[in-house]
Amino acid sequence: MTTRDGSTVLRVEHLTMRFGGLVAVDDLSFEVRRGTITALIGPNGAGKTTVFNCITGFYRPTEGRLALHRGDPAVWQALEALTDSGRRGVARPQGALFLLERMPDFLVAQQARVARTFQNIRLFAGMTVLENLLVAQHNPLMLASGYTVLGLLGLPPYAAAERAALDKARHWLDRFSLFDRADDPAGELPYGAQRRLEIARAMCTDPVLLCLDEPAAGLNPRESAELNELLLIIRDECAISMLLIEHDMSVVMNISDHVVVLDYGVKIADGAPEAVRNDPKVIGAYLGVGDEEVARVEAEVGL
Amino acid sequence: MGGMQLAGANIRTRLGEALRDTGLTALIALLLFLPLVGFQTITDIRDVLILTTRWPLLFTLVGSIAGVRFIYVMALAPRLERGALRLPQRASATAASILRNWFIPFAVAFVIVYPMLVVLAAGFGGAVRWVDNFGIQILIYVMLGWGLNIVVGLAGLLDLGYVAFYAVGAYSYALLAKAFGLSFWILLPLAGTLASFWGILLGFPVLRLRGDYLAIVTLAFGEIIRLILINWVPVTNGYAGIGSIPRPTLFGIPFNADDNGFAAVFGLEFSPLYRVLFLYYVILALALVTCFFNVRLRRLPIGRAWEALREDEIACRSLGINTTNTKLTAFAMGAMFAGFAGSFFAARQGFISPESFTFLESATILSIVVLGGMGSQIGVAIAAVVMIGGTEIMRQLGFLKQIFGPTFDPTQYRMLLFGLAMVAIMRWRPRGLIATRAPSVFLKKRRHISVDLVTEGRG
């Protein structure tokens, strides 16, 4: 339905997050375009995960506007009116627009349909792989079960909804090569499979925007390459937009369409991967020196 | 020759070890039981405390403990060590699956025919005690255990004040039945609704609390309800309690000796057994309904959300689950079943007072859930039978007086049994009798999940 028409799916404007005296994110603005993969990179402690937590509603930003859109781009025109109205979002038949900074975390996932994964994997370890994927479909299933009343009576509409949910789970299990382990507890999976399961679980919520916090962390080079391929396939087939935090430069350079670089909470670069890679400011940030010294330090370390 | 010598030396060292071990055990037992059992204070006629001693009882206890320890170290321990090396894994697995397949139908059939068996065995007069004290009493706790299981076992919310909802159910029935003359069958759902309303009321302030803090607040809530019942004398009649609560009837036919009573209507000779049998089947039906709800809820999205909440609350929120509502429904559902059980309790006793709703009751119900294995239906039922049945059996052991003298009262040792069961379970099955979790849904094969992977829940 949605295509890579280049319209904006997420617009972050003047995002600032303060923790007491510490400014974790300082006046950050960027955009995520529909059907693209945007990477958020930066040295340790640059504020990447804080940005994620703001977008997904786990933190309430100190300042700034986070607007998420789906459907017809014309709905963007309602942004200013929505901001002034004080409401959380507008949903019209042709599309919807949400102000994420006004929504609690579970509504960001439920209504704005932003899904996320975590840096330290958060699976339901004591539940099976399949159950994990069904929990992700909680809201549609809850509606189908008539908020439990119809489900308790075992009426057919719920049975049909559950079958559909199982089919969707099966589809994603297949996609992430987890089908054989569907009935195993999630906590027993090897590390790489747990990472994949977490992404599969996020995909089961039918997201508009998928936020991946270091999906390749702890994976070996082969697993990492497989994950790259998988993410590209998902992007193209589901026309989904992704925002990812990553330290693994092979992942960042191979799959992202756009890169935003943060250092000490400030955006220092924003552009295509090639351009960012050669930006002296970015190299300086990673090497821990000012940009005027980059050439000297590079010569020193033999780059 | 050399081999025999070696074996002899082996036995000798083992004997020395066993004696040393037994001596140490006896010493510890002596130190423990000297103040607990050895001394006894008695108030005489002039209200003066007199210290008496119970040496024979003390030494019997210490001696038997030392004996058991000696046998364990000498005979049992080496055998267990050898056995542990070649444990037949597969055989035990099939045995477990046979048990799993046949246990439930057998257990349900047994509880249905239990009163008849008792009548056959003990006759009309003797059956009342067995059906009432064992059947009904145990089933009330099975039901409470299953209700609390929703809150503690599934949603992972540690609730130490569960008895408050039981009290709300009991007092709702007693007060409404006396004030408005409504029947048991109308008040049963009403009591459940009121209790679940109180569950939500408790749920709201404690939503943000987790683990120990949640436990403390729920404990306090249980005490608040009890203190209100004690102090709101105009309504609850305080410590004196509420008496002559209307008994449930069978479609309007009361169970009494009158001309329109059950026995007279059906042309039978009056016996208190009919009422007891009726109550037995009512609580059995209520318990089975609770079980059905529990099993069904686990397979519905709400049940999976409860379990997911126990596993990881943050992940739940990232998947769009409203954790506030999910927790509140868990509290409300658990409280509702306590409310049902409470109104049944009031109808059965005919008299209620705050004495029946002390913290000890909450602790008993919680220990049934913990001993049974959190989240396991069968485990909770077995634990209730053992704990409540065990303490009831202690009441029936009057003959022990002939051994230990007329002052020996076996009922006073109920708590000792309780503690012993706790220690044994914590030592050998720290996650309860049934330490596996059955998945709610499967694609190819239902594999039971070892409870080591399952989070206990700190929420």
| Res. B457 pLDDT band, cuts 50 70 90 | low
pLDDT value at position A143?
78
Helices (H), A111-190: 129-136, 138-144, 149-153, 156-175
**CA angle centred on B91, ends B89 and B92, rounded to 5°:** 70
Helices (H), B130-261: 137-148, 163-180, 184-206, 211-231, 233-236
Interface test with A, best of B196, B207, B300, B302 (most A CBs within 10 A): B300
Partner-chain residue, chosen from B296, B437, B442, that has the shortest CB–CB distance to A183:
B442
B443 touches B424 (CB < 8 A): no
Q: Is the pLDDT of residue B61 over 50?
A: yes
Partners of residue A122 in chain B, C-beta under 8 Å: 312, 314-315, 318
- Residue A74: CB atoms within 10 A of its CB come to 11
- Subunit contact A109:B320, Cβ cutoff 8 A: yes
Q: Is the pLDDT of residue B459 over 50?
A: no
**Average pLDDT rounded to a whole number, residues B355-371:** 88
Partners of residue A170 in chain B, C-beta under 8 Å: 443
Cα(A47)–Cα(B354) distance, rounded to whole angstroms? Answer: 56
pLDDT value at position A5?
64
Q: Is the pLDDT of residue B6 over 70?
A: no
- Subunit contact B318:A130, Cβ cutoff 8 A: no
Partner-chain residue, chosen from B302, B318, B455, that has the shortest CB–CB distance to A148:
B302
Range from A258-262, B72-76, B447-451 carrying the lowest mean pLDDT: B447-451
Number of A:B CB contacts under 8 A? 138
A57 touches A47 (CB < 8 A): no
| Res. B167 pLDDT band, cuts 50 70 90 | very high
Cα(A165)–Cα(A205) distance, rounded to whole angstroms? Answer: 11
Q: Name the stretches of chain A with pLDDT < 50.
A: 1-2
What are phi and psi for residue B106, nearest 5 degrees?
Answer: -65, -45
Strand order in the sheet with A8-19: A22-33, A8-19, A63-71, A95-99, A89-92
pTM of the model: 0.81
pLDDT value at position B192?
92
DSSP secondary structure, B312-359, as one string: -HHHHHHTT--HHHHHHHHHHHHHHHHHHHHHHHHHHHS-B-GGGGSH
Strand order in the sheet with A37-41: A114-116, A209-213, A241-245, A37-41, A258-263, A266-271
**Average pLDDT rounded to a whole number, residues B250-275:** 74
Cα(B212)–Cα(B430) distance, rounded to whole angstroms? Answer: 19
Q: What is the pLDDT of residues B196-254, one digit of tens each?
A: 999 998 888 887 787 788 888 889 999 999 999 999 988 888 888 888 888 887 777 77
B325 has a chain A CB within 8 A of its CB: no
* 3-class state of residue A28 by DSSP: strand
pLDDT value at position A89?
82
Cα(B333)–Cα(A146) distance, rounded to whole angstroms? Answer: 16
Q: Which residues of A141-171 are buried (b: 16+ CB within 10 A; e: fewer)?
A: bbebbeebebbbeeeeebeebbeebbebbee
Compute the nearest-CA separation of A150 from chain B (Å).
10
- Subunit contact B317:A105, Cβ cutoff 8 A: yes
Q: Is the pLDDT of residue B94 over 70?
A: no
Range from B15-19, B240-244, B304-308, B418-422 carrying the lowest mean pLDDT: B418-422
Q: Which residues of B421-446 are buried (b: 16+ CB within 10 A; e: fewer)?
A: beeebeeeeebbbbbbbbbbbebeee
Residue in chain B nearest A170 by alpha carbon = B443
| Res. B111 pLDDT band, cuts 50 70 90 | confident
Partners of residue B297 in chain A, C-beta under 8 Å: 148, 152
pLDDT value at position B91?
47
Q: Is the pLDDT of residue B165 over 90?
A: yes
- Subunit contact B447:A135, Cβ cutoff 8 A: no
Sign of CA dihedral B107, B108, B110, B114: positive
Residue in chain B nearest A153 by alpha carbon = B296
Euclidean distance between the first and final Cα of chain A, in Å? 45
Q: Is the pLDDT of residue B87 over 50?
A: no
Compute the nearest-CA separation of B404 from chain A (Å).
50
pLDDT value at position B148?
92
- Subunit contact A109:B317, Cβ cutoff 8 A: yes
